[in-house]
Chain A
């Protein structure tokens, strides 16, 4: 049961967002810019960063919601997403994305964990300043979203296929103006 009285029937972040629409608005705008707006990182790559950080934070709702969206963009199966979460170095993603996921993993522990060597590695593989910036901010943002979702004790459907099935629609609707109740 959630720690506060949230609108019924809404899983994960949708409960607190319906409870407090004033803060939901900038939160969704942030997600839209970071994960969906024009960027040299693909939407799939950015959703993968969000999924990876949410998995490090052990947030069931966020890692499956964003994993489902990433799976749709990347046209892969769940085992591929799980492999990235478990050991991205051994997957077929680009060296640049690996170097960015390493930075995201450090941000999850704490901002000071990011090293100049990690940044140099990412730049070596062609990452731009904007891409490094956005990686750090996506990782930091999910350290917020994950805490928001779990800190209020929200509930989440346990069947992971539900999130996969929702992925295409969530990808199409985006983060602004989507209906919290659908």
Chain B
């Protein structure tokens, strides 16, 4: 049960966005830029993989599953998402993205864990300053979102089809459109 009185027909962060629209606006504006809007070199699928990986490291069921579903719709590949959650180095993704995911994993632990060697390794694979910046900020932002969702004990659906539907909507529409209602478990 959530720690505070939240609208029951919306799961995860959506219930928090309904509860406090004043903070929902900048949070949605942030993910829209970081994950959905056109980017000079990282695809939405790649950026969603970073969000999914960090959420998985933070053990946040709602965020890891929904961003995994969004990534799947962008990439048209669900297998790669599942591998990235557990072991990015084993996934069929570019060496550059692997290096960026390594930086993201360090940020999840703490900003101070990111070393010059991690950044050099990403640069060697062709990562730009903007890509490194956005990777750090996506990872940091999901350290916010994951704590927000779990810190208030929001409910997360168990039904993967629900995430698939929500994921399709977000992949197509981005983060600024209203969510659909979901019937909570009785």
Distance between A126 CB and nearest chain B CB, rounded to angstroms: 14
Q: Which of B134-163 contact A (CB under 8 A)?
A: 134, 136-137, 139-141, 143-153
Interchain CB contact under 8 A, A25 and B144: no
Distance between B118 CB and nearest chain A CB, rounded to angstroms: 8
Q: B66 in the interface, Cβ–Cβ < 8 Å?
A: no
Interchain CB contact under 8 A, A119 and B3: yes
Identify whether the interface residues of B are mostly helix, strand, loop, or mixed. Answer: helix
Interchain CB contact under 8 A, A26 and B30: yes
Contact of B110 among A106, A137, A144, A147 (CB under 8 A): A147
Say whether, besides A30-B27, A132-B4, A151-B111, A23 and B33 are in contact (CB < 8 Å): yes
Interchain CB contact under 8 A, B111 and A137: no
Interchain CB contact under 8 A, A151 and B136: yes
Interchain CB contact under 8 A, B26 and A30: yes
Q: Among A23, A34, A151, which residue has the most Cβ atoms of chain B within 10 A?
A: A151
Interchain CB contact under 8 A, A114 and B153: yes
Give the chain A neighbours of B30 by CB distance below 8 A.
23, 26-27, 30
Give the chain A neighbours of B140 by CB distance below 8 A.
143-145, 147-148, 151
Distance between B21 CB and nearest chain A CB, rounded to angstroms: 10
Interchain CB contact under 8 A, B151 and A4: no
Interface size class of B (residues with CB under 8 A): 35 or more
Give the chain A neighbours of B22 by CB distance below 8 A.
33, 37
Q: Which of B73-81, B85-93, B125-133 contacts A (4 or more CB under 8 A)?
A: B125-133
Give the chain B neighbours of A22 by CB distance below 8 A.
33
Interchain CB contact under 8 A, B114 and A153: yes
Interchain CB contact under 8 A, A5 and B129: yes
Q: How many residues in A have their beta carbons less than 8 Å from beta carbons of B? A: 49
Q: B23 in the interface, Cβ–Cβ < 8 Å?
A: yes
Distance between A161 CB and nearest chain B CB, rounded to angstroms: 24
Q: How far is the CA of A120 from the CA of B90 in the complex (A)?
A: 44
Interchain CB contact under 8 A, B133 and A19: yes
Q: B34 in the interface, Cβ–Cβ < 8 Å?
A: yes
Distance between B142 CB and nearest chain A CB, rounded to angstroms: 8
Contact of B20 among A114, A133, A143, A145 (CB under 8 A): A133
Say whether, besides A148-B137, A151-B136, A59 and B111 are in contact (CB < 8 Å): yes
Q: List 29 A-B contacts (CB under 8 A).
A: A3-B116, A3-B132, A4-B133, A5-B129, A16-B133, A19-B129, A26-B27, A29-B25, A29-B26, A29-B29, A30-B26, A30-B27, A34-B23, A110-B58, A111-B60, A111-B149, A119-B3, A129-B4, A133-B19, A134-B20, A140-B148, A144-B140, A147-B110, A150-B110, A151-B106, A151-B136, A152-B111, A152-B132, A153-B116
